[in-house]
Structure 1
Amino acid sequence: MSVQPVESRVVLPFSSTVAGPAPLTWGQKAVLQDIRESGFSLNASGAQALAEGDTAETLAARLSSLVSRHPALRVRLDTDAQGRDSQVVVGSGEVAVEVLDFGGEDDPVEVGKYIDQLWLDWLLTPFDHYRDLPIRFGVVRQHGVALYRVPCYNHLVIDGTAITMLMDEFTTGRPAGGAMHLLDLAERERTPQALKANDRSLNYWESHLRDIPPRTFGEPVHPDGRQGKRFWHARFSSPAAHLAILAIAQRTGMDTSRVLFGVIVTALGRAVGLSTLTAKVISSNRFRPGMAEVIAPIAQNSLVIVDLAGATLDQVIARGRRALLAGGLHAYYDPERLNELMVRLDAERGYQAQVSCRINDRRMTTRRMTDELARTAEVSRDQILRKRPETWFSWDGTLDHLHEQAFITVEDHGDTVHLQLIFDMACFTEEQIENFAHGVEQVAIEAAFDPDAPAGCG
């Protein structure tokens, strides 16, 4: 970088009477397991422009208040007497705002590049769960004026909805969160009512896991992967698919997330020749009583199975909707008990098995706007086709490790279907992945105006 800021810190105390040790919640166990299996930090970070008049000192005061109010932001991992992962919510301490000062002569474009690199670096830098508070906060100033805030959260204590609530409180001062906080949730998950919910979920998983193959997409057949590397990530963007999804959602009366899921699984089935797809889908548990506003990670993997054979595109979308509903109703469970169940089923089958496909719609801001647009938009075939030249696909690089064979994420981009794709290329060809990505657009366009179009999978 051609610009370098002067770094300083504003440190303020925080305190609360809500503190103490607790077991991890089920959502926290799920996140911690994902972090350890994937090797990824799973942080949430970004940069937001500040309102005129904000200063590093006023922002530090708001941050101190936020940390004091919410137990989730005062968590450190610990180990209990039995050697199991646990947590401690600390009652007091200090929180720091990291201030980055640029001079008035620094090029604003270069400053912007520095900010983008900063939040990306923080996104990828793991927290020390045992020593760090689960929030890091930066303020960027130029010529003494605070321009941007750069928050970074440890996913171990929040999910996307919780971040949205916390950022609203930070900006407006209106208290976020409901009556239940993280320590309450940890206690609630030891009650008979919660344990019954856990049993129902595990019964559902057992009934669907018993006969699955060892790996969703079979064993590796291309040991050299792509260009000598196994694990690759890519991106795909299609404004045409976005318009087609609006048309399907309007025609079927479904929300865009369920429509997108049906389109994605159909395109994947076509590209790799699947007649049934078994996948893990990240589902929210905020519909459960008392959990809508809790500041904690509430989302967990659900298990979703969709039969693609001999179906029309509308039938696949409808089957996907039902499968998502069933899976979501059984996505609240203790991950340790699920792991024990999978070990038992492996022994009974005589082979180890894993659901190695994960699909995640993590749109936060654009999902609601897109759903609202789908209710009123008038989309024509010509409008969709005119957008097709804007479609693009790119291979972006490699990873050292991937726990799944395929991890497909719908990203938060407006006016386009934007997918982040990560694949084990020992199990796929380059042509299959590119066909899948462009197939998302093709399937969406076919389904937009023809309810009887064949899925063509299997």
Structure 2
Amino acid sequence: MRAVTSRRVTFAAGESVVAPLAWGQYAIWKPLQWFGDETQSFNLTRSFTLADGVTEDRFADGVRRLVEEHASLRTRFVAGEQHIAGAGELGVALHPLDGADPAERAAEIATSMAADSFDLTSEWPVRIAGIVSPEGHVVAVSLVASHVGVDSWALVSLGDDLRDLLEAPERTPAPAVRWDALRQLEFEASPAGKRVESSSLSHWAARLRLAPASMFDFPQAPSDGLPIHRYRLVSRAVAAAAPIVATRSRASVSTVLLTVAASWLAAYCGHDTAAFQLIAGNRFDPQSRALRAPTAQDGLFVLPVPDGDLSAAARTVLPIAARGYLNARYHPERLAELKAEIGAARGVRFDLSAYFNDVRRDGDWAPPLPDATPADLAALREQSTFTQFPSLPRHDMKFMVNFNYLGAEGCGILLLTDARYLPAPAGERFLRGLELILCTAVHEELTVAEAVQLVGVEPAARDADWVRTATGWVHVPAARALLADAVPDRPTAVFCRPAADPELTELVGYVAGDAPESLVDLHRRVVAALPERPGVATPDEYVVCRAPQGVAEADWAASAVLSRGSGRTG
């Protein structure tokens, strides 16, 4: 049996450069700092076979040319900067085929290489391996990359680039100047880039003023073991049914999938408005499509859930989703500032932790059964396979549904959930339910409510301590604790009152003191004390008053008022 060996590939591509991170790079790098050394779940994999095996020398030379052509593969990421190396070495592994199927062996090696996190300050953000036949030819390739180095589009494109270099090494060399992260930085700093950023932030601002502060403003459930659960459903039924439903709805497949996911999550969470972050590829022009570095960022999708037919709902979703995808280019720090500003004005800390990601590159699926009968679709559902992967200790997402295309296998649907908000049975039931909704909708015009019911998951429960406000659901005891924590040196109280909208409640916060306090400063103190967990909000109005004669609401209301108001400045 041949042993695993390695080769050092030496590259030389010009001068070394240190530069800031482009928007797409920063959008991944910044949140990954929160994960510390446990970032392996963000590693991306790609594997492929070669039509004809190539020698190990040709394989090494193809890797060299790939690294020289694409600066993202020879970049280290240090303290928010990118350090692009002009010259250096990259190690590549050579694994024996060991009698396995080349495609299966390459996928296995890619999975193995992805199990370890990257140290992006000292490692290149890519790992490459060749699968070697008994005759000594590389017959398949495995790629693993850190998400900071590339996104899914870039990794697929890099795989295509390497395949071309190996199968057609005589191809015309790449132009001397490619669209890389440095040119992307120039665009982002240009007037055109500033206009793009301004448009995106304006879209976010308008939607943030309408969105619930969190979809997950309800009590946590106990979770045994690690709380972050990951599931996958591989389904030919979804690949067959979704295009038929989309055609009838006069919408895209992606829109239909988003409509179902958003409608169900809103119903489960007890909201009539759904808020999702859309992972937008941002590959809108030849330059961005040529960039082998991350461009993906988050767009904001806010949907007042329709109550009519699923087809009509999909048509409603289409333009809303399109605007979300088209306005996802900005510096993440500018967005963080905007979220803090609007959050302070609304008295909340946003928890936008529901995500939708459609990574299919092949457009809408071509249905293998365009005239599928209910029996055909039922048979396809029987073939679906469900897998639960090892759980994780933490994540910054509470819900993320991801769609990809697996060719003849159909549709791969990945689901990540925080089991404290979506207990374990809900994960599989959601995936099976989504499949059932789409297959049923091929032959029946379902309403949104009927579609949601097919999932068969009971909505999250809240007791009488939870009230619905303009910002979402609020746990009143937590709001009382918030005000007490923010003003520890004075007696405080929080009470509820009807809002102008009869379905909503407002919170009034009382603060006892001998002298008026600036309401603006008071509100700032309360906002600063907001916890990370959802379901907590500041009072809608503050009342600074003399110390009450008792603790009842009537006692506070009877106290002499020194000042009152919202404390908001925006």
Same fold? TM cut 0.5? yes
Pairing partner for 1:275 from 272, 276, 287: 272
In the alignment, the residues of structure 1 paired with residue 265 and residue 347 of structure 2 have an alpha-carbon distance, to the nearest angstrom, of: 29
Instruction: Determine the structure 1 residue equivalent to 2:253.
Output: 256
Pairing partner for 1:89 from 84, 91, 114: 84
**Deviation at 1:272?**
4.6
Deviation string 1:288-337 (CA, Å, 9 cap, x unpaired) is 47323222211111111122241210122122222210101110110011
Answer yes or no: is 1:146 the counterpart of 2:138: yes
Deviation string 1:319-362 (CA, Å, 9 cap, x unpaired) is 22222101011101100111122222233233312111011112
Instruction: Determine the structure 1 residue equivalent to 2:565.
Output: none
Pairing partner for 2:284 from 284, 287, 295: 287
Q: Is the 8 A contact 2:11 2:67 kept in 1?
A: yes
**Deviation at 1:51?**
3.6
SS of the aligned residue for 2:345 comes to helix
Pairing partner for 1:231 from 200, 211, 228: 228
Assess, with a 3 A threshold, how the Cα gap between structure 1 residues 162 and 394 changes in structure 2: closer, same or farther: closer
SS of the aligned residue for 1:379 comes to coil
In the alignment, the residues of structure 1 paired with residue 411 and residue 304 of structure 2 have an alpha-carbon distance, to the nearest angstrom, of: 24
Instruction: Determine the structure 1 residue equivalent to 2:190.
Output: 191
**Deviation at 1:221?**
2.3
Q: Is the 8 A contact 1:271 1:432 kept in 2?
A: no
Instruction: Determine the structure 1 residue equivalent to 2:402.
Output: 409
Residue identity matched to 1:164: V
Assess, with a 3 A threshold, how the Cα gap between structure 1 residues 217 and 117 changes in structure 2: closer, same or farther: same
Pairing partner for 1:426 from 384, 402, 420: 420
Answer yes or no: is 1:168 the counterpart of 2:160: yes
**Deviation at 1:252?**
3.4
Q: Which runs of 5+ in 2 are unaligned?
A: 166-170, 453-458, 460-570
In the alignment, the residues of structure 1 paired with residue 174 and residue 374 of structure 2 have an alpha-carbon distance, to the nearest angstrom, of: 43
Instruction: Determine the structure 1 residue equivalent to 2:56.
Output: 56
Paired residues for 1:62-211 under 5 Å: 62-79=62-79, 85-101=80-96, 108=100, 116-143=107-134, 144-173=136-165, 179-211=178-210
TM-score using structure 2 length: 0.71
Residue identity matched to 2:163: T
Q: Is the 8 A contact 1:276 1:309 kept in 2?
A: no
**Deviation at 1:141?**
2.1
Q: Is the 8 A contact 1:247 1:448 kept in 2?
A: yes
Assess, with a 3 A threshold, how the Cα gap between structure 1 residues 289 and 236 changes in structure 2: closer, same or farther: closer
Deviation string 1:31-56 (CA, Å, 9 cap, x unpaired) is 11242345433222243223434122
In the alignment, the residues of structure 1 paired with residue 402 and residue 311 of structure 2 have an alpha-carbon distance, to the nearest angstrom, of: 22
Answer yes or no: is 1:435 the counterpart of 2:429: yes
In the alignment, the residues of structure 1 paired with residue 303 and residue 126 of structure 2 have an alpha-carbon distance, to the nearest angstrom, of: 38
In the alignment, the residues of structure 2 paired with residue 117 and residue 426 of structure 1 have an alpha-carbon distance, to the nearest angstrom, of: 32
In the alignment, the residues of structure 1 paired with residue 314 and residue 434 of structure 2 have an alpha-carbon distance, to the nearest angstrom, of: 13
**Deviation at 1:282?**
0.7
Residue identity matched to 1:440: L
Q: Is the 8 A contact 2:43 2:114 kept in 1?
A: yes
Residue identity matched to 2:433: G
In the alignment, the residues of structure 1 paired with residue 411 and residue 264 of structure 2 have an alpha-carbon distance, to the nearest angstrom, of: 14
Assess, with a 3 A threshold, how the Cα gap between structure 1 residues 113 and 184 changes in structure 2: closer, same or farther: closer
Assess, with a 3 A threshold, how the Cα gap between structure 1 residues 325 and 228 changes in structure 2: closer, same or farther: same
In the alignment, the residues of structure 2 paired with residue 176 and residue 377 of structure 1 have an alpha-carbon distance, to the nearest angstrom, of: 42
SS of the aligned residue for 1:52 comes to strand
**Deviation at 1:236?**
2.4
Aligned residues: 440
Q: Is the 8 A contact 1:140 1:146 kept in 2?
A: yes
SS of the aligned residue for 1:360 comes to strand
Q: Is the 8 A contact 1:280 1:303 kept in 2?
A: yes
Return the structure number with greater relative CO, CA threshold 8 A, min gap 6. 1
Q: Is the 8 A contact 1:307 1:319 kept in 2?
A: no
Assess, with a 3 A threshold, how the Cα gap between structure 1 residues 220 and 398 changes in structure 2: closer, same or farther: farther
In the alignment, the residues of structure 1 paired with residue 307 and residue 333 of structure 2 have an alpha-carbon distance, to the nearest angstrom, of: 38
Instruction: Determine the structure 2 residue equivalent to 1:215.
Output: 214
Residue identity matched to 2:411: V
Q: Is the 8 A contact 1:218 1:427 kept in 2?
A: no
SS of the aligned residue for 1:310 comes to coil
In the alignment, the residues of structure 2 paired with residue 438 and residue 213 of structure 1 have an alpha-carbon distance, to the nearest angstrom, of: 27
